[in-house]
Chains A and B, each alone.
Chain A
Amino acid sequence: MAEALVAIEDPAVLPDTVGVRQPRRFTVLFWIAVVWLVLIIALAVFASVLPLDSPTQVFACIPNSAPSWHHLLGCDELGRDMLSRIVFGARVSLEVGFTAVFIGLVFGGTAGLVAGYFGGKTDLIISSAMNVLLAFPALVLALAVIAFLGQSLRNVILILGLLSIAPLARLVRASTVVYAQREFVTAARMMGFRSRRILFREVLPNVMPSTLSFAIVAVAVAIVAEGALSFLGLSVRPPAPTWGNMIAEGSTYLSENAWLALCPAAVLCLTVLALNFAGDGLRSFFDVKDSAL
C-alpha cells in the first residue's frame, strides 16, 4: 500500500507558478560601481609606480588653485598636488577602513552571534560589555591606546576596530535573535547538531547580508574617523595624506576654498556609494527569497 500511495505523488519537476528561477542579471549601476572600485584600488596599490607628483612636495603653483593641466585636481593650501594626495591617501584610508571594520566584524560579529543565539546569561554579559564599550568616550579610548602602545597606523586601526565592535555586535545580535527563533534552527538542534555548527552553518549565512551592508557604511565612518584622529595628531602624522585628514584640514578652509574638503569627500562618497551598489548587486544576485507561498 505504501508503494501505491507514493507512486501517485508528484515529482518536483512539475512547473510551478511561484519560485521558478528568474534569469539574473547585473545592472549597469553595478558595473559602474565595480569599475570605480577597481580603479581606486588599482591606483592605491600602484601609486608609487604611477607618474604622479609626490603628495608631500610643495609646488610652485598658487596654493588653493583650481584644477589645471598640471594639477588635474588643483593644489591645496600649501601648494601640494591634490590628485596625488588623494591617490596616496587612498592607501592609508582604505587600509584603515577595511581592516578596522574587519576586526569589528570578527569580534563584534562573533559576540553578537553568540549573544543572540544563546540568550539568557550569556546575552546579558555580552550585551552589558557592549554597552560599556559604546558608552566609553571614543577619544579617551584613542588617547589611552596611543599612550600605552604608541602612535602608529597599526594602533589607529586597533582603535577604530575596537570602536566598531559594539555597533556591529548589536546589529548581528538583533538579526541573530530573529533567525534563532526560526524553526529550521530548532530542527537543527533536534538533529543533534552542535551549537558551533548551527551558528556558522545555519544562522550566519542568514545574518551575513544585512551585516555586510551595514559594514560597508561602517568602512566610510572609519575612514572619516581616521581623519579626525589625524587632525588631532593621533593618527598618521601630516604631511602624509589620508582622505580623512584631507577632509579634516580642508574643512578649516571651507569658507575660502570649499574644494579642498569637497574633493576628497566626494571621492570618499563615491567610493562608499560604489561599495553599496556593488554590495546590493551581489546580494540580489545571490539572494534567496523565502518561499513565495
Chain B
Amino acid sequence: MTTNDALLSVENLVVEYPVGRGRKVHAVSDVSFDVQAGETLGVVGESGCGKSTAGKAIVQLPRPTSGSVLFEGTDLVKLDGDQLRRFRPRLQMIFQDPVSSLNPRRRVEDIVGDPLSVWSAELESSVASKQERKAKVAEVLEAVGLDPVSAAGRRPHEFSGGQCQRISIARALVLEPKVLICDEPVSALDVSIQAQIINLLEAMKARFSLTLVFISHDLAVVRNISDRVAVMYLGKLCELAPSDVLYRTPAHPYTAALLASIPEPDPAIVPSTTGRLTGELPSSIDPPSGCRFRTRCPRAEERCAAEEPVLREVATGQRVACHFPLVEARPAAPANVASQQSA
C-alpha cells in the first residue's frame, strides 16, 4: 500500500506516555498512512484520541516510541538531534491555542523573523541580509492578511484570536516549509473567523505549494479542506478514505456516528438522536481488547472483542479497520465509486 513517492509516510507509529507505576497511556497505537505531495490529509476524531500526539510525533516532538516517519525517503526517527534539526525548516506545525502558541513577550516581527535569522546563514538563502529578512517578514505578514507596518512592532496580546492564528501561520510559512501540520487551528475561533483562516490556509497552500496535515474534531471543517481523511479512535486508525467517499459512504461505524453528530445549519433538519455516540471514551491506559470501538459500537459482536480488525481496502482508496463495515468489499466497488465521483 505504501507508495514510495509519498512525501510523508508514517509507518507503524506508536506513541506511549508513561504515567507512573509501570502503566502507560497508549496515545497512538500502530498507525500508518501516507501523504502525497500537494494533498491535504485531514485527521478527525474525538478529543483525546491521539490526533495531536500523532501530529507531534511526525515532527519528532516528542520522538515516537516506535515506528518510522519517512520524509522524502529519510526516516526522521533514525536521525540524531543535529541531523533532525536540519530537516526542521521543511516540516512546520501550527497549534490550536492562538494565545499559548505565541510568546507574549516578543514582537510580531521577532516572532516571524527569528526563524529567518537563525537559518539564513546555514541555508545560504536569499534572505541573508537584515534588510532582506525584513522584507521577507513583511511579505509573509502581508500574505496572511496582516498589515506589516502596523503589526510588526506589536505584541501578541494586542491581537484577536484570529489574528494570532494568522501570526502563527506567518511564522510557520516564513521558512517556506514543504509540509504544514495544522493541529486544530480553527477550533478556538468563531465560525466567521474560522472561515477566514480556512480560506487563508487554502490560499497559502496554493501560493507556497504546501502539503497539509489538518487535524480537527470538526468533520465539516475537515471535509471542506481535505482531499483524504483519516479517522482515529483511541489511538487507532479506523478509516482512511478520499473525503468525498468517506462522507458519502462511511464504512466504519465510528465514522458514521461522527457524521451523525454534525450540527446542521438548517432548521428543517430536526436533529435526530439516532446514530449518536453514547457513553464515554474508554481509558487509553487500558484500552478494550480486540476492536477498541467495541464498547460503544452498535454493530459489535463477539469477534470484535477477540480479534483486532486490520485496515483493509473496501473500495478504491477507502480502507477500514472493522470486521463488519458498513460498506462491504465488493469486486465491483472501484468502478462503482468512480462513477459516483464523476456524477
A and B touch in the complex (CB under 8 A): yes
The verdict on A9 contacting B105 (CB below 8 Å), with A187-B93, A290-B99 known, is: no
**Are A12 and B157 in touch, CB under 8 angstroms?**
no
Whether B273 is near chain A, meaning CB under 8 Å from some CB there, is no
The distance in angstroms between the C-alpha atoms of A189 and B115, with both chains bound, is: 10
Question: Which residues of B sit under 8 angstroms from A293, Cβ to Cβ?
Answer: 98-99, 160-161, 188
Residue A136 lies at the interface, judged by CB distance under 8 Å to chain B: no
Is A24 on the interface with B (CB-CB < 8 A)? no
A137 at the interface (CB under 8 A from B): no
Q: Give a binary string over A3-31; 1 marks a CB under 8 Å from any B CB, 0 the rest.
A: 00110011111001011110000000000
Residues in A with CB closer than 8 Å to B172 are 187
One of B148-156, B308-316, B332-340 at the interface: B148-156
Given the known interface contacts A187-B101, A206-B103, the answer about A5 and B200 at a Cβ–Cβ threshold of 8 Å is yes
Residues facing B in A202-236 (CB within 8 A) are 202, 205-206
Closest to B116 in A: A191
A12 engages B163 (CB within 8 Å): yes
B11 within 8 A of A: no
Stretch in contact with the other chain, from B38-46, B84-92, B219-227, B274-282: B84-92
Interchain CB contact under 8 A, B203 and A192: no
Smallest CB gap from A289: residue in B: B157
Least CB distance from A228 to B in Å reads: 38
Distance, CA A187 to CA B143, complexed state (A): 20
Q: Which of A18, A19, A292 has the most CB of B within 10 A?
A: A19
> Which of A21, A187, A193 lies in contact with B168, CB distance below 8 A?
A187
Which listed residue (B89, B115, B157, B203) contacts A291, Cβ 8 A?
B157
Q: Residue A184 at the B interface, CB < 8 A? A: yes
Query: Given A202-B103, A206-B104: A183 and B158 within 8 A (CB)?
Result: no
Task: State the CA gap A18–B206 with chains docked (Å).
Answer: 32
Query: Which residues 243-293 in A have Cβ within 8 Å of B in the complex?
Result: 288-293
**Docked-complex contact B85 and A192, CB < 8 angstroms:** yes
Instruction: Tell which of B59, B88, B114, B147 touches A11, judged by Cβ atoms closer than 8 Å.
Output: B147
Q: For this complex, into which size category does the number of interface residues on chain B fall?
A: 35 or more
Q: Which residue of A9, A186, A193, A291 is within 8 Å of B61 (Cβ)?
A: A186
Interface assignment of B321: CB less than 8 Å from any CB of chain A: no
Residues of B within 8 A of A186 (CB): 56, 61, 93, 95, 101
Does the CB pair A191–B93 fall under 8 Å? no
Q: Is residue B145 contacting chain A, with contact meaning CB distance below 8 A? A: yes
- Report the nearest B residue to A6, measured CB to CB: B203
A288 touches B207 (CB 8 A): no
Residues of A within 8 A of B155 (CB): 288
Residue of A nearest to B88 (CB): A192
Determine how close the nearest CB of chain B comes to the CB of A177; give it in whole angstroms: 15
Rounded to whole angstroms, the CA-CA distance of A9 and B147 in the bound complex is 10
B151 surroundings in chain A (CB, below 8 A):
12
With a cutoff of 8 Å between Cβ atoms, the chain B residues found around residue A184 in the complex are 100-103
Contact A183 B101 (CB under 8 A): yes
Residue of A nearest to B197 (CB): A9
CA distance A138 to B100 in the complex (A): 41
Interface centre among A12, A20, A206, A293 (most CB of B within 10 A): A12
Q: Residue among B86, B105, B200, B206 with the most chain A CB within 10 A? A: B105
Q: Does A135 contact B (CB under 8 A)?
A: no
| In the complex, chain B residues whose CB is within 8 Å of the CB of A288 | 104-105, 155-157
Bound Cα distance from A18 to B59, whole angstroms: 34
Taking the complex as formed, is A2 at the interface, i.e. its CB lies under 8 A from any CB of chain B? yes
Given contacts A12-B151, A183-B95, A291-B156, 16 further A-B contacts (CB under 8 A): A6-B143, A6-B145, A11-B147, A18-B160, A183-B101, A186-B56, A187-B95, A192-B85, A192-B86, A194-B85, A288-B105, A289-B157, A290-B156, A291-B99, A291-B159, A291-B164
